[in-house]
Amino acid sequence: MKALRRFLDNIKPHFEKGGKFEKLQSTFEAFETFLFVPDQVTTQGSHIRDNIDMKRTMALVVISLIPALLFGMWNVGYQHYLATGQEGSTIELFLEGLKLVLPIVIVSYVTGLAIEFAFAQIRGHEVNEGFLVTGMLIPLVLPVDVPLWMVAVATAFAVIIGKEVFGGTGMNILNPALTARAFLFFAYPAYMSGNQVWTHGLMEGEGIVDGFSGATPLSMAAEGNVDNIPAVSDMFFGFIPGSIGATSVVAVLIGAFILLFTGVGSWRIMLSTFAGGLVMGFLLNAFAVNPFMEIPAWQHLAMGGFAFGAVFMATDPVTAARTRKGKYIYGFLIGLLAILIRVVNPAYPEGIMLAILLMNVFAPLIDHYVVESNINKRLKRAEAQAA
């Protein structure tokens, strides 16, 4: 390691101001700080600091996404084999999925990181770690047959319009991964909705066994075909068509456990999102006028991408509410709206995406009123004392 450090120290001057590669300073810094935690020490304020930093935090979120990614790869293979009537071992299914999913992951990371590095360079900032998570989230919420160029365009849109125009990581209003998904959803609906896109091969239609529809439980339910939706256990484990990494509640819960145990994810948001979903489910049950509304409230939590959204998307700390009370309200409304949109509006079976994006926009407002109530409390206290 000393040799590597010496090498970096030797070439470093070229990247500093006045050096040959001055223009690549951020890029050099990104690689240097990736390899070595900087030797910077405290000068003012607290002399000691917690070991945690943004790299560690973001890396942890990526780790928490790995169960969903691995299961998603397997499920992609499983659904494909199911559709084509093939048989295969677990490994074969997984490899089939790997073959299809890995390119999407790579395109997402390469496009996004290239833009991040470019922006850091132009602005003279350090490269932010936020995209490490976004780059993994984007593939997980897309259908497997999405063309790679679309992944690239959507990622670019998400990073530039969703984040960098606002000032980069930490400043964005909308969740970048959901921005990417929403962009594709509205720009290329044929590739993002319907029954054909969720299973590899259906769009081409060749070699598909009779009777395989490829419909997700949500689209079945939206069509009133409630009797045929898969067993709750299948939805819970994730053996259903859907976005690459968002079908398995089990995989999501493993991720949630990692996030909550390490203290990186907000339990307040997760809890209140599930609570909001349940409450809306019960309300719909109470006023049920069609089969979709009769689906037991708790089943909604296992259907579609609700759990994935609640655990990985709603909890994005930048776009969520930042106050404690605000988090409860924010999550609760997401859960409420997600189920409402899903059931009442057949055009958007996956309501969680829209619910989160909508609440992203309202999060600052929620925080505003929470902070305002604190201010009022202080004013009242002053008045009471003056009286």
- Count other C-beta atoms under 10 Å from residue 136's C-beta: 24
**Which residue, 173 or 203, is less far from another protein as judged by CB?**
173
Q: Which of 79, 273, 323, 360 is the binder for another protein (CB under 8 A)?
A: 323
**Which residue, 58 or 244, is less far from another protein as judged by CB?**
58
Q: Is-contact 376 195, C-beta < 8 A?
A: no
Q: Within 13 Å, how many C-alpha atoms sit on residue 49's CB side? A: 9
CB of 328 to another protein, least distance (A): 12
Contacts for 132 with CB less than 8 Å, ≥ 6 apart: 58, 59, 61, 62
**Does 47 engage in binding with another protein (CB under 8 A)?**
yes
CB of 132 to another protein, least distance (A): 12
Q: Which of 84, 322, 348, 358 is the binder for another protein (CB under 8 A)?
A: 322
- Count other C-beta atoms under 10 Å from residue 235's C-beta: 24
Instruction: Report d(CA 384, CA 377) in Å as an integer.
Output: 10
Q: Which residues from 253-292 bind another protein, rule CB under 8 A?
A: 261-264, 266, 268
Tell me the window of 173-181, 244-252, 290-298, 319-327 that interacts with another protein (CB under 8 A). 319-327
Give the DSSP letter string of 84-141. Answer: HT----HHHHHHHHHHHHHHHHHHHHHHHHHHHHHHHHHHTPPPPSHHHHHHHHHHHT
**Which residue, 43 or 233, is less far from another protein as judged by CB?**
43
Q: Is-contact 68 251, C-beta < 8 A?
A: yes
First CA to last CA distance, the chain: 68
Tokens of 232: 């709750």
Give the closest residue to 183 by CA, choosing from 160, 165, 205.
160
Contacts for 196 with CB less than 8 Å, ≥ 6 apart: 145, 202, 203, 214
**Which residue, 128 or 216, is less far from another protein as judged by CB?**
128
CB of 38 to another protein, least distance (A): 7
3-state secondary structure of 218: helix
Tokens of 154: 């959507």
Q: Which of 19, 230, 317, 346 is the binder for another protein (CB under 8 A)?
A: 317
**Which residue, 130 or 305, is less far from another protein as judged by CB?**
130
Q: Which residues from 136-195 bind another protein, rule CB under 8 A?
A: 167-171
**Which residue, 190 or 386, is less far from another protein as judged by CB?**
386
**Which residue, 169 or 199, is less far from another protein as judged by CB?**
169
Phi/psi for 345 (5° steps) reads -110, 100
**Which residue, 89 or 385, is less far from another protein as judged by CB?**
385
Site string for another protein, 107-136 (x = CB under 8 A): -------------------x-xxx------
**Does 50 engage in binding with another protein (CB under 8 A)?**
yes
**Does 66 engage in binding with another protein (CB under 8 A)?**
no
CB of 245 to another protein, least distance (A): 22
**Does 1 engage in binding with another protein (CB under 8 A)?**
yes
Buried b (16+ CB within 10 A) or exposed e, 182-193: bbbbeeeeebbb
Binding site for another protein (CB under 8 A): 1, 4-5, 33, 35-57, 59-60, 126, 128-130, 167-171, 261-264, 266, 268, 317-318, 320, 322-324, 327, 367, 371, 374-375, 377-379, 381-382, 385-386
